[in-house]
């Protein structure tokens, strides 16, 4: 049996706040004859960024402070938002035999329980308010309850975040030309300073993105190919096309700011571009965990599709999107969203002559905001807008902007000319 520590921290690098967490876990473990096991994110941080210090060095830092073992979470944080990755991580811990969860917070366990109850009742862990103090700890508690409350929760009083912040510690080292200042060293255990200095001397710190691949994809991919990448919506793709060429990270951050992405979603979108994460890949990952009972009903892929159809249908009746979303969520509305649509095409006589049934097509949102399709036939590239009823246009646009639900099209013979059969999900 294990006791788990440090779930909500990336330990990047391990500071004295983390050391306190390990120390408190050690006390409980020794009393109950259990082991202290730290689970560290690997590859990308929970905030979808590359790590400052790589996994092996962070693992060494945790072991030096008294952890019995270090395990990893891999392949999640360039593919999923926290409301989906947390249930998966909790499931892994429970399957490993973890019995206790310990984390730091500035609020009490009773307050965490109180704020988590609304999300437990709704079975939906998306949209945790930014105003919540320790909202990540609230999310973990709520999802643990959703999974049956299998982990016993322990809270350690949080150190001063204005000092003991991994982000601030990393920034201070970067600003100081990769030198650990005396003031920064005071925030770190001695073993961390030694390991971190070794990693800096070896040139392994800081970690960084593969910017060359990111620039290449953002500078060259068509709208149709960008549409396949997770966490890119129609507006963002058009901003990417419009603002080419990209040669530095700031120009990339700027295009996402113009598309109203916050810092967290920007990092996730950039990570998806870097790793070529497709919407299809994300959807299939979600569905694989749905089958294991890990993903709440209100967050399941089909539920997202159903909500898009319901809201589109209600808009046709004059109901606002906000009101329709609220009704769908609060009243647990059941709908039968279409899994495919047939759209008309605006083809010239020549294009009609060379078009053939069965050709695969790419869907995208053109610079005028209209849903369009492109395909190749007999060496010719054909682009045209789709013709659909208004409710289906709205529905399809919601799906295409969903961040993780793919759409694909194929040419279908019609009574007169051709149509595109659009498959959703």
pTM higher than 0.85, yes or no?
yes
Say what the pLDDT of residue 7 is: 62
How distant, in Å, are the alpha carbons of 20, 110, 216, 255 from that of 222? 50, 51, 12, 16
> What's the order of all strands across the beta sheet hosting 152-157?
69-74, 35-42, 2-5, 98-105, 152-157
* Overall average pLDDT of the 303-317 stretch: 97
Q: How far is CA 283 from the centre of its chain?
A: 12
CA pair distance 187, 165, nearest whole angstrom:
9
Token representation of residue 248: 């530095």
User: Would you tell me how many other CB atoms lie within 10 Å of the CB of residue 50?
Assistant: 19
Say yes or no to pLDDT of 103 above 70.
yes
Q: What is the mean pLDDT of residues 42-55?
A: 96
Q: Single out the residue of 371, 365, 355 nearest to residue 411, CA to CA.
A: 355
Give the pLDDT score at 421: 98
Look at residue 9 in the predicted model and tell me its pLDDT. Answer: 67
Residue 31 neighbours by CB distance under 10 Å: 8
Residues in the chain: 425
- 154 phi, psi to nearest 5 deg: -130, 140
- Quick one: what percent of the chain has pLDDT higher than 70? 98
| Mean pLDDT value across residues 36-51 | 95
pLDDT at residue 130, rounded to an integer: 86
Sorting pLDDT into bands at 50, 70 and 90, what band is 36?
very high
Q: Is the pLDDT of residue 190 over 80?
A: yes
Is residue 308 over pLDDT 70? Answer: yes
Q: Is the pLDDT of residue 400 over 90?
A: yes
- Which letter, b or e, does each residue of 332-350 get, where b requires 16 or more Cβ atoms within 10 Å of its Cβ? eeeeebeeebebbbeeeee
Torsion angles phi and psi, residue 72, rounded to 5: -125, 150
More confident residue, 107 or 162: 107
- 319-363 pLDDT, tens per residue? 999 999 999 988 888 899 999 999 999 999 999 999 999 999 999
Question: Which pair of structure tokens corresponds to residue 61?
Answer: 């830092």
CA distance 102 to 144: 13
**Which residues contact residue 222 at a Cβ distance below 8 angstroms, ignoring those fewer than 6 apart?**
362, 364, 374
pLDDT at 8: 58
3-state SS assignment for residue 247:
coil
Q: Which tokens belong to 109? A: 């366990």
Give the mean pLDDT of 232-245: 96
Average pLDDT (35-49) is 94
| Spatial distance between the Cα atoms of 89 and 75, rounded to a whole number of angstroms | 11
Instruction: Note the pLDDT of residue 245.
Output: 95
Asked whether the predicted pLDDT for residue 6 surpasses 70, the reply is: no
């Amino acid at each position: 049996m294990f006791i788990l520590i440090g779930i909500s921290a990336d330990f990047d690098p391990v500071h004295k706040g983390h050391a306190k967490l390990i120390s408190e876990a050690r006390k409980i473990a020794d009393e109950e004859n259990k082991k202290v096991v730290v689970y560290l994110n690997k590859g990308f941080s929970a905030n979808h960024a590359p790590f400052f210090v790589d996994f092996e060095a962070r693992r060494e830092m945790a072991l030096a402070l008294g952890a019995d073992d270090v395990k990893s979470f891999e392949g999640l944080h360039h593919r999923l938002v926290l409301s989906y990755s947390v249930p998966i991580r909790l499931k892994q811990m429970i399957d490993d035999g973890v019995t206790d969860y310990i984390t730091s917070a500035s609020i009490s366990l009773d307050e965490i329980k109180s704020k988590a109850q609304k999300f437990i009742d709704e079975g939906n862990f998306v949209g945790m308010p930014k105003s919540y103090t320790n909202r990540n700890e609230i999310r973990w508690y709520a999802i643990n309850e959703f999974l049956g409350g299998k982990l016993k929760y322990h809270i350690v009083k949080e150190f001063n975040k204005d000092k003991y912040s991994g982000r601030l510690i990393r920034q201070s080292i970067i600003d100081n030309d990769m030198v650990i200042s005396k003031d920064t060293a005071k925030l770190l255990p001695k073993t961390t300073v030694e390991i971190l200095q070794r990693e800096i001397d070896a040139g392994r710190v800081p970690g960084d993105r593969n910017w060359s691949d990111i620039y290449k994809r953002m500078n060259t991919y068509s709208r149709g190919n960008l549409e396949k990448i997770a966490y890119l919506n129609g507006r963002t793709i058009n901003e990417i096309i419009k603002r080419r060429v990209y040669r530095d990270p700031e120009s990339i951050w700027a295009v996402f700011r113009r598309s109203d992405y916050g810092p967290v979603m920007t990092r996730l979108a950039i990570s998806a571009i870097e790793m070529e994460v497709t919407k299809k890949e994300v959807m299939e990952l979600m569905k694989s965990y749905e089958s294991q009972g890990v993903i709440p009903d209100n967050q399941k892929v089909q539920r997202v599709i159903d909500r898009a159809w319901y809201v589109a249908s209600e808009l046709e009746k004059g109901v606002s999107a906000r009101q329709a979303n609220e009704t769908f969520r609060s009243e647990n509305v059941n709908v039968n969203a279409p899994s495919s649509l047939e759209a008309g095409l605006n083809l010239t006589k020549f294009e009609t002559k060379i078009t053939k049934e069965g050709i695969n097509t790419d869907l995208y949102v053109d610079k005028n905001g209209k849903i369009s399709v492109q395909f190749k036939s007999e060496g010719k590239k054909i682009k045209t807008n789709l013709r659909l009823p208004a409710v289906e246009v709205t529905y399809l646009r919601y799906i295409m902007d969903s961040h993780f639900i793919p759409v694909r099209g194929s040419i279908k013979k019609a009574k007169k000319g051709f149509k595109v059969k659009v498959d959703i999900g």
